[in-house]
Structure 1
Amino acid sequence: MAGTDRATLTETEQIPAPSRLAGLAMKVLHTLLGLTLLSVVAVNFLNAASRYLFGISPLGADELMVYVVIWAVMIASILSLFLRSHINVNLLPLCATGRFHHLLRVIHDLAAVVTCGYATYASWLFIGRISTLGVKSMGLGVPMTIPHAALLFGFAGLTLAGAVMLVRDLSALVRNNPCEEVEP
């Protein structure tokens, strides 16, 4: 899958400090996202156990789990795009070399920026509409702008990550040099 075409560094080469820092930050973020999902599983278990064993259904537990998962997925999608570890069909880029490989990456980055930019704009408009209505969730009474803001945050982050990658890959296309990838 993706990630097989990453530039690899041998043990004798030095990894620049910003890349090490970015790699460490991404490892920490992966760990936090994993712990977040484990906490959702724990809430789900406690919710089911209290419902079936004691006949008590905690108010808003299902809502809370859904909102946390949506936020986690959107944050993880930004990380996944930046690391190029998302699910994709990369048969052509695996076979491509040189400038053609860089051109394919530029096209991929451009598609990500355009589609995620449009989704960011649509999310912004939607949040504007529901905020004027003052809609709140049924269980927890959370303003619905908060869970919907996850989509705005996620798509804006994806647009920004795509733009950073586009600049990096355009530079690599012009120089015909492989770009350095940040390893998780």
Structure 2
Amino acid sequence: MALDNTSKWVEGIHRAATVLEVTLAAALIAAVIMNVINIVARYVFGQSLTGVDEWQIYLLVAMAFAGSVVAAVRGQHLRMDVLTRYFPRTAQRIVGAVEAVGAVLLCGFVCAVSTHYATRMHAIGSVSENGYIPMWLPHSIVALAFAAMTLVGLADLVLRLMGSRLVTRPPAVEAAAPVPEAAS
């Protein structure tokens, strides 16, 4: 029974990651449309749209941070396992658990610091120079993304304790297949 609930929980997390991924795709399309509109406005009408560049930059930065949440859920983040993939299974599990705890602590720390910073930006009423974007908004994205990665990491730790995983990593690729020589 508990395993059924766990698998539903994991499926829910993966569904949420898929929704976020589709939202990020839509945001990328919006950024491209904003860019095209600004190019047409600049080169056809001789008038640039004020603040569009800032909106685009902050949107792309938000996409990068939100994308890191999707990567965390799917286990697609960068991982330096050149040595650990050759460790015995028990050592791999121990290193993986230490990595998971370290990631949760680091993501939690960045979340706390960026939350504090975004709160200060809100308190002083800081806005961007051209687009008049309240600066607490883009800074909040950092806090939200790291909060989500902290929660994903905590979920993975709980699942590890239960003998499961949020993501099952495929086996490491040992070496590329040799390229056949061309016939002379």
TM-score category, normalised to shorter length: 0.7 to 0.9
Contact 1:105 1:169 in 2 (8 A): no
Give the counterpart of 2:71 among 80, 83, 103.
80
Cα offset, 1:166, TM superposition:
2.0
Q: Report whether the alignment pairs 1:98 with 2:84.
A: no
Residue 167 of structure 2 aligns to a residue whose secondary structure is coil
Matches of 1:119 and 1:47, distance apart in 2: 34
Q: Which has the higher contact order (CA 8 A, sep 6+)?
A: 1
Residue number in structure 2 paired with 1:26 = 17
Q: Identity over the aligned pairs, expressed in percent?
A: 25
Larger radius of gyration: 2
TM-score normalised by length of structure 1: 0.76
- Structure 1 gap ranges (5+): 1-15, 173-177
Residue 59 of structure 2 aligns to a residue whose secondary structure is helix
Map 1:21-60 → 2, pairs under 5 A: 21-60=12-51
How big is the alpha-carbon RMSD for the aligned residues of Structure 1 and Structure 2? 2.4
Q: Report whether the alignment pairs 1:150 with 2:136.
A: no
- Structure 2 gap ranges (5+): 1-6, 170-184
Matches of 1:40 and 1:65, distance apart in 2: 6
Distance change in 2, residues 1:109/1:63 (3 Å): same
Contact 1:40 1:69 in 2 (8 A): yes
Contact 1:83 1:181 in 2 (8 A): yes
Distance change in 2, residues 1:37/1:112 (3 Å): same
Residue number in structure 2 paired with 1:136 = 127
